[in-house]
Amino acid sequence: MAFIAFLILFPLLPAAMMLLVESPAVRKGIIIISAIAIAVISVDLAFSAPKDAPHYVNSAFHSLDNILLAGELILACTLLYLCRKLPFRKYWIPLMVVLQTGMVLWIELSGKLHDVKTQHVFFYDNLSLIMAVIIGVIGTLICVYAVGYMNQYHHHHHDIPDRQKLFFFTMFLFLSAMFGIVFADNLMWLYFFWEITTLCSFIMIGYSGTEEAVTNAFRALWMNLLGGLAFAIAIVYCVTVLKIIELDDLLNSGKSAAILLPVVLIAFAGLTKSAQFPFSAWLLGAMVAPTPVSALLHSSTMVKAGVYIIIKLAPAMLITIPGTMLTPGILIALIGAVSFLACSCLAISQSNAKRVLAYSTIANLGLIVLCAGVGSYLALWAAILLLIFHAVAKALLFLTVGTIEQQIGSRDIEDMHGLISKMPRITIIMLIGITGMFLAPFGMLISKWAALEALAVSDPFLPLAVIFGSSATLFFWGKWMGKLIAITNVKSDAESRICHEEWFVLSTLAGMTIAICALFPLVGSYFIEPLYGHDPILSKEHIIMVAILLGLVLLVPIAFFFNWKKLRNAEPYLCGAGIKDNYSQFTGSLGTKEWKLSNYYLEKYFGEARLFKLSVVISTILIIITFTIVCYGAR
C-alpha cells in the first residue's frame, strides 16, 4: 500500500519542483535523484510483493472522492483552456471534453455511486508489477536521457522557446499518471489518470510550438479524447445498468454477457491510446516531438497503457456475444492483426527513421492486441513477453536515433550510411536494438515464437497475418542494419560530443536488452506463471536451445577483439572502373564519379498512399461491425 502511494504521489514532488527551479544544474540533480528513487522503489515493489493473487487496497477515505472530483474539474478546465485557440470549425474537440467530464461529474454528484460497491480503489497484481517496473526503470532512464538531450536540442534549435520547466514537469506528471493507471481498480480513477496521460501527450507533442507540432498535438488530442469519451460512456453504463465501478468486479462478474458493452468500450479506448488502425495517424504525427517524448510516451509507456488495459480485459472478451458465435476478443484481435500486417508493410516504404520506428511500434502493439484478443493462456503469455521486450528495445532504438540525429543532423536512414565508421559505439548500440527487435534468439523473436505457437492452436487466419507481417519486418530491419554497417572508413569525432547522460542511458538500455532475453525464463516463471499457468515455451529443451543460440550470438562481438591477420586490401569490384585505393569513386566518362548506395523502398507495393488508406477503411469497418454486434447482443 505504501509503495503504491509512493509511486503515484512521489513523482508529483519533482514535477512541482521543476516549475520552480531555475538553475539547470539543480534541475538535473533533482531529476537524477528522483529517477533513482522511483526506479529503486518500483523494482523493490516488484520483487518483494507477493505474487500469488491480486492485492487490493481498501479505501476508507471518502475524501479521496473529493480529490477525484477536484482533479477532474482541473483537468477539464486545463484541456478547455488549451483548446481556446482552435478555429470554430473544430468545436467538436472541446465538445468532447465537456461531454466526457459532464458524464463523469454527473455520475459522481448524482448519488448513483451510493448503490455501488466502492471498496477497492487501488490494487496490484503481477501484470501491474511488470508494468510498474517498466515505467519505473525505463521511464526514469528516459527522463535522465532527456536532461542531456534537451540541452543539446535547445542549443541546436534557437528558434524554439526554452520551456524545459514545463517539459520536465509534464514528464514527471506523466510517470505519476502511468503508475495510477496500472494500480487503479476503481474505473473512475483509472479514467482520470488515463485523461492525464492524454493531456501530457498533448503538451509534449506541441512542445516545439511550430505549426506542424500544434496540428499533430491536436490530432493526438482528439483521437485520445475519442477513447476517453468511450471510457466515460462505459463508466456511465457500468454504474447505471450494472451497478459496478471496479475493474475486478467487472472481470469477475461471472460469464454474463451484460458486461460486454463496457468491456468493448474500454477496449476501444485502449485501441485509440495504442494507436491501432484507424487511429494510427496520431502516433505518426507525434514523431515531430523531441525524441525523449517519442521514446517515453509513444513507444515504451503511454501506448503500453492501451494494450495493458486490453490484456486486463482479455478474460472478459472471451464471453460469446449472445445471438452470435463471435466473441469481442476475436474482433479486437482482427483489428490488431490489420494493424500488425499493414504497419509492418508500411514501414518498408519509409526512409525517415522515426517513422519506421513509429510504424514498427504500432505493428508490435497490434501483435500484442492480437494475442490479447485471442485470450488463451498461451496467447496472453506471448502478449506479456512482447510487452516487456518491446518496451526495452523500442526505447533503446528511439533514444539512439535521437542521439544520432543530434550528431549528423538528419533522421533519414539514407544519411546513416556507413555510420559504423563515423560513430562505432553508437552504431553497435543501435545494432543491439535492431537485432533485439527481429532476430533470434532475442526477446522479440522469442515472443513472436510464443505468439505463433499460441495462435496456431486456435485457427489459421491469425497466424497468416503474423507470418506475413513478420516477413515484412525482416526486410526493413535488415536493410537498416545494412546501411549502418557499410564500412566507409570515413572517420569522425561525432561521438566525443555526446553527453554523459545519453551514454549512460543508452548503454544501460542496451545491456538490459541483452540481459532480459537471457533472463526471460526467470521473468516467465517468476511473474507470469502465477498469473496464467505454465507455458510450454518455457520447457527445458526450448530454454537450452535458446541459451545455446544466445551464447553463440554473444560470442560474435568477442571475435572483434581478435587480431585477424592482415590481408591484402582490394577495392570493390566495379568492372575495372575502380580507382586504386579509392573506396568511393570510379572513373566515369567525364572524370571520376562518386557512387551512392540507397535502399529499396518498394513504394509501389508498400507505399503509404495506397496501403494506409486501405487499412484505415478496413479497420473502420471492423470497428463498426464490432460495436454493431455488441450493441445488438446487449439489448
Residue 577 in grid coordinates: 572502373
Count of residues that bind another protein according to CB under 8 A:
67
Residue in 50, 114, 573, 591 binding another protein, rule: CB under 8 A: 573
Residue 428 interacting with another protein (CB under 8 A): no
DSSP assignment letter at 362? H
Nearer to another protein, 90 or 610 (CB): 610
**Alpha carbons 449 and 375: distance in angstroms, whole number:** 16
Task: State the minimum distance, in angstroms, from the CB of residue 369 to another protein.
Answer: 20
* Interface stretch with another protein, choices 86-94, 351-359, 456-464, 527-535 (CB under 8 A): 456-464
Helix runs in 423-491, H state only? 424-438, 443-456, 461-485
Q: Which of 342, 209, 210 is nearest to 275 (CA)?
A: 342
Q: Residue 48: what are its φ and ψ, rounded to 5°?
A: -90, -20
Residue in 30, 80, 214, 481 binding another protein, rule: CB under 8 A: 481
Nearer to another protein, 236 or 456 (CB): 456
Residue 555 in grid coordinates: 560470442
Residue 171 in grid coordinates: 514528464
* Interface stretch with another protein, choices 99-107, 359-367, 422-430, 482-490 (CB under 8 A): 482-490
Q: Which residues pair with 585 in a beta bridge?
A: 594
Q: Which of 486, 482, 493 is nearest to 418 (CA)?
A: 486
**Angle, CA of 132, 135 and 140, to the nearest 5°:** 130
Query: Helix (H, G, I), strand (E, B), or coil: what is residue 376?
Result: coil
**Alpha carbons 471 and 44: distance in angstroms, whole number:** 39
Q: Which residues pair with 56 in a beta bridge?
A: 123
Task: State the minimum distance, in angstroms, from the CB of residue 462 to another protein.
Answer: 10
Q: Which of 167, 130, 119, 132 is nearest to 19 (CA)?
A: 167
N-terminal to C-terminal alpha carbon distance within the chain: 40
**Alpha carbons 342 and 276: distance in angstroms, whole number:** 10
Residue 571 interacting with another protein (CB under 8 A): yes
Residue in 534, 605, 614, 628 binding another protein, rule: CB under 8 A: 605
Residue in 352, 376, 587, 620 binding another protein, rule: CB under 8 A: 587
Q: Which residues pair with 58 in a beta bridge?
A: 120
Residue in 44, 212, 459, 603 binding another protein, rule: CB under 8 A: 459
Nearer to another protein, 439 or 634 (CB): 439
DSSP 496-539: GGS-HHHHHHHHHHHHHHHHHHHHHHHHIIIIIHHHH---GGGS
Q: How far is CA 68 from the centre of its chain?
A: 27
* Interface stretch with another protein, choices 194-202, 235-243, 495-503, 547-555 (CB under 8 A): 547-555
Residue 63 interacting with another protein (CB under 8 A): no
State which of positions 359-418 bind another protein (CB under 8 A): 418
Residue in 471, 525, 592, 628 binding another protein, rule: CB under 8 A: 471
591-594 and 585-588: which strand pairing?
antiparallel
* Interface stretch with another protein, choices 38-46, 299-307, 480-488, 518-526 (CB under 8 A): 480-488
State which of positions 483-502 bind another protein (CB under 8 A): 483, 485-489
Residue in 98, 515, 552, 621 binding another protein, rule: CB under 8 A: 552
Binding site for another protein (CB under 8 A): 418, 439-441, 445, 449, 452-453, 456, 459-461, 463-464, 467-468, 470-472, 474-475, 478-479, 481-483, 485-489, 541-542, 545-546, 548-549, 552-553, 556, 559-560, 564, 567-580, 583-584, 587, 595, 597, 599-600, 602, 604-605
